[in-house]
Structure 1
Amino acid sequence: MANVLVIESSARQQGSVSRQLTEQFIAHWQAAHPADRVTVRDLAVNQVPHLDANLLGGWMTPAEQQSDAEQAALALSNTLTDEVLAADVLVLAAPMYNFTIPSTLKAWLDHVLRAGVTFKYTETGPQGLLSGKRAFVLTARGGIYAGGSMDHQEPYLRQALGFIGVHDVSFIHAEGLNLGAEFLEKGLAEAKAQLAQVA
């Protein structure tokens, strides 16, 4: 049995293409792996605080010297990193906002890219500690950006995931969603076809 962690980041609950992709991913995955456990964390419903002084203090201050606010910030960060550590498969649903990822997803990454927990510094540079995991990134984009200079989603997420040791990363892009009915239909059809193969 594998643990699958799904991270939703769309600000929209209704009409969200990335949420549609997530639903299809889960359906295909559970059909192929009925014993696996799927956990969904919705960053729009349960927002993760952005990196602040309390979290930095919680990371850097000895436990006996932490303030109540630092302890609370650290407890949440520990919960988020524990979910990632326990996952065998990561699924990030990432609509494109202003050429990159939603700020809620960036905040989540700021919690889980943690020195000594998900990566460590060595004499030869940083080393990821999450080897052996797979990741799928499901994107929804109004235009067509894959492989172009304005795509700041895929390069950033590949680097962030690779930094913590997750190198087996597959991207499924639903693109051209705001370019008219023909592009919308084509973009969704291509993404759904890829989703049918992931499990």
Structure 2
Amino acid sequence: MARFIEVHPVDPQPRAIAQTVAALRDGALIAYPTDSCYALGARLDSPSGPERIREIRHLDAKHDFTLVCSDFHQLGALVHLDNSAFRAIKAATPGPYTFILPATKEVPRRLHHPKKKTVGVRIPEHPVVRALLRELGEPMLSSTLLLPGHDEPLTDGWQINEEIGHALDIVLDSGECGTEPTTVVDFSSGAPEVVRVGAGDPTPFE
């Protein structure tokens, strides 16, 4: 069963963040809050993280994983950006958006879309995940915590622990957060295409 760690949603306790990051560095899979909804997270180089996420969510190999970044500098090292994409994404971050873009060589191949060689990237605004990323010092592999057969993501840490705690190492609980996943914008063909409308306003990309 997962270790259950409660954390303040606005001013997360450094001890709780440090414990969670130590577990991530040891290969843990965690559930954590974001500015859109709860998500699953692991280190980019975790040997088991991608497969554990696919198993929990019943995803196939064509799913675009999301790499969660602390700032635009980290994001820019992971994906190729032309000037128009740079300006549009810069204006919308941090916030509840995921952007699909061609991956750079910094991204492990096993995290790419197998044909398009793309990956999702995002810079969240929630204080807990921002504290996690600062302590970790690198981007984190992530996926929305939307379970098979569910119309909405799980919204409470205790509910996540009850339903899938057996498949996780840590549930980082900051109380209820949103029920809408991120708005997803695909820049991989050059022009932006809104492929999922979620918590972020899609208007700037339409």
Structure 1-normalised TM-score? 0.27
Structure 2-normalised TM-score? 0.26
Say which one has the larger Rg: 1
Q: Which has the higher contact order (CA 8 A, sep 6+)?
A: 2
Whose helix fraction is larger, Structure 1's or Structure 2's?
1
